[in-house]
């Protein structure tokens, strides 16, 4: 579907839904999807190419398939027509979270785990995080499909001596899923994945892994705009860690998790418009980063002095302090961080330049971010908002580069 076709299709879905007197939530529940997914369909953001999903929508709306999509194959042809697959989404990963991934083992438990597969599972989990950091969501979804059921089954069938590591691998996998779902605006699925990661980390005997899961859970709450829940969860975790560290020597892992949770609280306060509270949390994270003394990637949190300043830039932009954001970013060297983190800084610089009406610099920053992490820029709400503003300001004078970026991000959808 082109962007125009998506807009026309989405408007048709919305009209048919309203004719039936259904809310988005009611229709989404009837077809087993989320209200956010349906909202994106109706706004022309989410394409619907697969015939099975089209049928699902038509059934939920109580109309023939051809009413919903006039150019769809007639029923006799539709049964045999090849299905186009939507790309760069996490549909398969969502299905993995639906229900219990290892029901068969519950009915007939038996030890069928082979220790020789451990190296393969370790590599697969590491690959999942590589795909997550690179925002390669289609590849991630394909990898998750077989991996999660394998790990869930292994956790239940392996001898006790392997249990701790297997639960830890599963916790890391669910944490990656939670991070990916947040970036794709699928916060309900991120909530489920984060909650499962917390449980698996606890079963692995790694309490810090559970705290890392809380961090992922907070991101889901923020995306859902449940800022009170995010604040409560993060503050509870910070309090527990601080009490522990009052009588115990901190490891780098403790500091990475504690600093990341301070950054989470800075995000929550910035989104609430609480300038003083947000800055206090940034300062607290800076103090932890100085104690840590280096950029690390414990629990894939990428915490350290550089990441604190990246978050400080984002917080300043959220608070409307564009000048401060640009000043902080001026001396930052992010070459040692993942492409996702580098792109995030460039995206926030684009937002800051747009606030200052430096439109050329804003476009340049966004294009550089897109080169590093195209999927993030194409799907991130903040990136699309900046591109939309740039297009509206430029009007007919919009450059080909800006128009191309607007098309790729569906900024005008």
Per-residue pLDDT of the chain (413 residues; tens, 9 = 90+): 677 888 888 899 999 889 888 888 888 777 766 677 788 889 888 777 766 678 778 888 888 887 888 776 555 443 443 333 334 468 888 888 888 887 877 877 676 778 888 999 999 999 999 999 887 888 898 899 889 999 999 998 888 899 999 999 999 999 999 999 998 889 999 999 999 999 999 999 999 999 999 999 999 999 998 999 999 999 999 999 999 999 999 999 999 999 999 999 999 999 888 889 999 999 999 999 999 999 999 999 999 999 999 999 999 998 889 999 999 999 888 888 888 889 999 999 999 999 999 999 999 999 999 999 888 888 788 888 899 889 888 888 889 999 999 998 887 66
- Domain membership flag for residue 92: no
Is there a single domain that holds both residue 187 and residue 252?
A: no
CB-based contacts of 179, cutoff 8 Å, min separation 6: 132, 190, 216, 219, 300
pTM (2 d.p.)? 0.75
Read off the tokens for 297.
Answer: 């990637």
**What's the rounded Cα separation, in Å, for the pair 186 and 179?**
10
User: At which of 213, 236, 254 does a domain end?
Assistant: 213
Is there a single domain that holds both residue 183 and residue 248?
A: no
User: At which of 51, 78, 105 does a domain end?
Assistant: 78
**What's the rounded Cα separation, in Å, for the pair 175 and 206?**
14
- Burial class from Cβ neighbours inside 10 Å (0-12, 13-18, 19+) for residue 227 reads middle
Question: Residue 8 maps to which CATH number?
Answer: 1.10.260.40
CB-based contacts of 93, cutoff 8 Å, min separation 6: 140, 141, 144, 145, 177, 180, 181, 189
- Domain membership flag for residue 111: no
- Burial class from Cβ neighbours inside 10 Å (0-12, 13-18, 19+) for residue 112 reads exposed
Is there a single domain that holds both residue 164 and residue 243?
A: no
User: At which of 319, 352, 371 does a domain end?
Assistant: 319
Is there a single domain that holds both residue 181 and residue 229?
A: no
Is there a single domain that holds both residue 123 and residue 209?
A: yes
**Whole-number pLDDT of residue 34:** 65
Is there a single domain that holds both residue 284 and residue 342?
A: no
- Domain membership flag for residue 102: no
**Whole-number pLDDT of residue 33:** 66
What residues make up the domain containing 51? 3-78
Is there a single domain that holds both residue 203 and residue 144?
A: yes
**Whole-number pLDDT of residue 30:** 74
- For the chain, what is the domain count? 4
- Domain membership flag for residue 113: no
Is there a single domain that holds both residue 64 and residue 136?
A: no
In the chain, count of helices (H) and strands (E)? 23, 0
Is there a single domain that holds both residue 230 and residue 203?
A: no
């Amino acid at each position: 579907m082109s962007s125009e076709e998506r807009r026309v299709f989405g408007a048709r879905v919305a009209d048919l839904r309203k004719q039936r007197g259904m809310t988005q939530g009611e229709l989404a529940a009837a077809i087993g999807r989320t209200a956010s997914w349906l909202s994106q369909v109706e706004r022309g953001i989410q394409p619907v190419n697969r015939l099975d999903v089209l049928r699902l929508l038509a059934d939920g709306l109580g109309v023939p398939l051809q009413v919903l999509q006039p150019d769809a194959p007639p029923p006799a042809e539709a049964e045999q027509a090849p299905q186009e697959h939507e790309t760069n989404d996490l549909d398969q990963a969502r299905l993995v979270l639906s229900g219990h991934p290892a029901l068969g083992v519950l009915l007939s438990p038996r030890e069928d785990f082979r220790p020789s597969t451990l190296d393969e599972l370790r590599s697969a989990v590491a690959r999942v995080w590589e795909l997550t950091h690179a925002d390669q969501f289609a590849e991630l979804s394909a990898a998750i499909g077989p991996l999660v059921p394998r790990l869930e089954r292994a956790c239940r069938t392996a001898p006790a001596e392997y249990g701790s590591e297997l639960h830890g691998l599963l916790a890391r996998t669910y944490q990656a899923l939670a991070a990916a779902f947040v970036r794709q605006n699928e916060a309900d699925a991120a909530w489920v994945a984060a909650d499962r990661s917390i449980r698996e980390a606890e079963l692995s005997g790694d309490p810090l892994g559970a705290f890392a899961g809380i961090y992922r859970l907070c991101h889901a709450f923020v995306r859902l705009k449940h800022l009170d829940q995010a604040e409560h969860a993060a503050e509870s975790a910070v309090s527990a860690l601080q009490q522990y560290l009052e009588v115990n020597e901190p490891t780098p892992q403790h500091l990475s998790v504690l600093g990341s949770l301070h950054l989470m609280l800075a995000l929550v306060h910035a989104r609430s418009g609480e300038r003083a509270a947000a800055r206090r949390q940034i300062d607290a994270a800076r103090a932890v980063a100085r104690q840590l003394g280096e950029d690390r990637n414990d629990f894939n949190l990428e915490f350290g002095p550089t990441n604190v300043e990246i978050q400080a830039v984002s917080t300043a932009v959220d608070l409307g302090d564009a000048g401060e954001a640009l000043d902080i970013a001026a001396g930052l060297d992010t070459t040692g961080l993942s492409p996702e983190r580098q792109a995030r800084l460039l995206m926030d610089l684009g937002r800051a330049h747009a606030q200052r009406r430096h439109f050329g610099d804003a476009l340049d920053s966004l294009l550089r971010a897109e080169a590093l992490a195209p999927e993030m820029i194409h799907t991130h709400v903040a990136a699309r908002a900046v591109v939309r503003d740039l297009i509206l300001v430029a009007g007919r004078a919009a450059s080909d580069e800006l128009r191309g970026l607007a098309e790729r991000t569906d900024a005008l959808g």
